[in-house]
């Protein structure tokens, strides 16, 4: 089975996005780690919403570091319609349909590039939580790389609190017990 790492970032109050995109949640450190992981990938998986977002740069555009990295857009809806939409916006992404029952075989069949370090066959998922958790649930051995940003996000879509705040925090302790991680922050 191919190695699959699902990369997600969330704020301390559980938001995966600010203004509908993870870039508002991410920090410079998170972004550096994200780029390093992406560069090791032999293929990338994204969701429909990410693929069709005109505000995001094309992942594998000519001249970029990932120019030869296949980008697969997994969808539960019509892949032909999605392929046409991707063609209309001029991106070299491959639309692939999946169901819960076919997810493992779809991931196993994805085209990858062969020039990665030591021939590593690593697939990285950069999607929102819906596709990420589908993969985590249905792909045997999937790994979740969860980055917790020291940001408290409050937008109209925030779901954990109505508190209007922008609080800078510094991480002062990380502790684990069994499989639980405890993060302690102090106001910066």
Tens of pLDDT, residues 117-156: 655 689 999 988 889 989 999 998 899 998 888 877 766 5
**CATH code for position 48:** 3.40.430.10
Average pLDDT, the chain: 84
- Which residues have a Cβ under 8 Å from the Cβ of 183 and sit 6 or more positions away? 12, 148, 171, 173, 174
Averaged pLDDT, 34-63: 89
pTM of the prediction?
0.83
pLDDT in tens, 66-109: 888 999 999 999 999 999 999 999 999 999 999 888 888 888 89
In the predicted model, is pLDDT for residue 163 greater than 80? no
Averaged pLDDT, 28-42: 89
In the chain, % of residues over pLDDT 90? 32
Averaged pLDDT, 17-34: 76
Instruction: Please tell me the predicted confidence (pLDDT) of residue 45.
Output: 95
- Name which of 188, 182, 124, 151 is nearest 19 in CA terms: 151
The secondary structure of 2-40 as a DSSP string is -EEEEEEEE-TTS-S-BTTBGGGT--HHHHHHHHHHHHH
Determine the 3-state secondary structure of 168 from DSSP: coil
Instruction: Please tell me the predicted confidence (pLDDT) of residue 19.
Output: 65
* Residue 21: band (very low, low, confident or very high) from pLDDT cuts 50, 70, 90: low
Range of 113's domain?
A: 3-187
* Residue 160: band (very low, low, confident or very high) from pLDDT cuts 50, 70, 90: low
How many independent structural domains does the chain possess?
Answer: 1
In the chain, % of residues over pLDDT 70? 87
C-alpha triplet 140, 145, 151: angle, nearest 5°: 145
């Amino acid at each position: 089975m191919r190695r699959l790492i699902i990369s997600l970032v969330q704020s301390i109050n559980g938001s995966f996005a600010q203004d509908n995109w993870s870039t508002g949640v991410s920090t410079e450190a998170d972004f550096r780690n994200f780029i390093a992981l992406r560069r090791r990938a032999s293929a990338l998986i994204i969701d429909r919403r990410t693929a069709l977002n005109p505000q995001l740069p094309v992942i594998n555009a000519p001249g970029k570091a990932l120019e030869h990295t296949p980008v697969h857009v997994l969808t539960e809806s019509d892949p032909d319609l999605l392929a046409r939409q991707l063609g209309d916006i001029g991106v070299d992404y491959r639309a692939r349909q999946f169901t819960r029952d076919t997810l493992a075989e779809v991931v196993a069949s994805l085209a990858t590039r062969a020039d990665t370090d030591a021939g590593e066959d690593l697939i990285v998922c950069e999607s929102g939580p819906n596709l990420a958790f589908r993969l985590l649930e249905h792909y045997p051995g999937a790994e979740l790389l969860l980055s917790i940003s020291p940001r408290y996000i409050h937008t109209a879509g925030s779901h954990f609190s109505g508190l209007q705040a922008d609080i800078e925090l510094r991480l002062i302790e990380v502790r684990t017990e069994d499989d639980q991680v405890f993060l302690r922050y102090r106001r910066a």
